């Protein structure tokens, strides 16, 4: 990124409004306040959301969504994915003046086009997705400073979108509008399924008599993750890479006996692993043939 160019187009100190100050919205609001902006209003329906406003954004007044928009220069719409489009349409129908206001959502699944009703009414749309998991705990704000944001906007607004992310201490990564769903599928597949896989491994180890599976898994999985991030498929190890078809067959038999719901995912991931290893020249074709017969 051209730092001088970004600095020249850095947003002025903004009055920020948040619609949906949940785990994500309250953290983004706190990060923007830390950067010198001011969260002036929030729309909070649940008791938990009102509690987050009081704890993290004490200067913000709780208003209806249209009033939040009216009070803000930058509106953060941090609601569930399926609520984004209806909310944008509903706000536009209220007739609240959005001309020249920045409206940003934090969904990974959508680009800026989901805010179309507000854009047509004169708003400036941004998609700012923090690539981080949020737990609702205080460390969320600290973690934000180490993560990337998937940024999508109309090209003229790109410097402003990226500058807002930089001000929050994070790294902006440009994602084209047409690639937004693919980008989100990659992140969800990696992060969400990783949790499922680790939890399933721990459960199976418990069945095998291991009292502290987390202690056993932590060094192994930490090394595997490090290898994968640094080396890609070249960081692979294990029976699929070695073409140990008999071992894989025993794995599948045991899973069908003790955890039948996970056997199908094991087979699917083993097939994908074999395909990737074969394409990379790590798995010999004759070994792959035996392995794929077992996985069939």
Among 146, 158, 148, which Cα is nearest to 112's?
158
For residue 289, the tally of other CB atoms under 10 A from its CB is 13
Please state the pTM of the whole predicted model.
Answer: 0.86
C-beta separation of 129 from 107 below 8 A: yes
DSSP secondary structure, 21-87, as one string: -SHHHHHHHHHHHHTT-EEEEEE--SHHHHHHHHHH-TTPEE--HHHHHHH-SEEEE---HHHHHHH
Q: What is the pLDDT of residue 136?
A: 79
Question: CA–CA separation, 29 vs 249, rounded Å?
Answer: 51
Q: Are strands 148-152 and 124-130 parallel, antiparallel or unpaired?
A: antiparallel
> What integer pLDDT is reported at residue 233 of this predicted model?
96
Query: Going residue by residue through the chain (296 aa), what tens digit of pLDDT does each one get?
Result: 444 444 445 567 999 999 999 899 999 999 999 999 999 999 988 888 888 899 889 999 999 999 999 999 999 999 999 999 999 999 999 999 999 999 999 999 999 999 999 999 999 999 999 999 888 788 888 898 889 999 999 999 999 999 999 999 999 999 999 999 999 999 999 999 999 999 999 999 999 999 999 999 999 999 999 999 999 999 999 999 999 999 999 999 999 999 999 999 999 999 999 999 999 999 999 999 999 999 98
Tokens 């597949």: give the residue. Answer: 189
Q: Which domains does the chain have, with CATH numbers?
A: 3-175 (3.40.50.720), 183-295 (1.10.1040)
In this prediction, residue 137 carries a pLDDT of: 82
């Amino acid at each position: 990124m051209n730092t001088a160019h970004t600095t020249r187009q850095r947003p002025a100190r903004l009055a920020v409004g948040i619609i949906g100050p949940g785990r994500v919205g309250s953290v983004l609001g706190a990060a923007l306040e830390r950067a010198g902006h001011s969260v002036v209003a929030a729309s909070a329906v649940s008791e938990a959301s009102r509690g987050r406003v009081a704890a993290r954004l004490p200067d913000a007044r709780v208003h209806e969504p249209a009033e939040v928009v009216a009070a803000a220069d930058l509106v953060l719409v941090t609601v569930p994915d399926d609520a984004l489009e209806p909310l944008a349409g509903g706000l536009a129908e209220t007739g609240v003046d959005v001309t020249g206001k920045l409206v940003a959502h934090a969904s990974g699944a959508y680009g800026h086009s989901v805010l179309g009703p507000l854009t047509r009414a004169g708003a400036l749309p941004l998609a700012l997705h923090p690539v981080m998991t949020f737990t609702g705990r205080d460390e969320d704000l600290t973690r934000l400073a180490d993560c990337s944001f998937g940024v999508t906007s109309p090209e003229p607004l790109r410097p402003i979108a990226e500058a807002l992310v930089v001000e929050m201490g994070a790294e902006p990564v440009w994602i084209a509008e047409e690639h937004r769903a693919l980008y989100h599928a990659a992140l969800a597949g990696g992060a969400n399924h990783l949790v499922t896989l680790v939890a399933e491994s721990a459960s199976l180890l418990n069945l095998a008599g291991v009292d502290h599976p987390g202690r056993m898994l932590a060094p192994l999985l930490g090394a595997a993750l490090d290898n994968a991030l640094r080396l890609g498929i070249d960081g692979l190890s294990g029976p699929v890479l070695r073409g140990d078809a008999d071992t894989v067959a025993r794995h599948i038999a045991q899973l069908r006996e003790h955890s039948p719901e996970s056997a199908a995912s094991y087979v699917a991931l083993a097939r994908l692993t074999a395909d990737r290893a074969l394409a990379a020249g790590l798995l010999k074709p004759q070994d792959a043939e035996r392995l794929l017969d077992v996985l069939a």
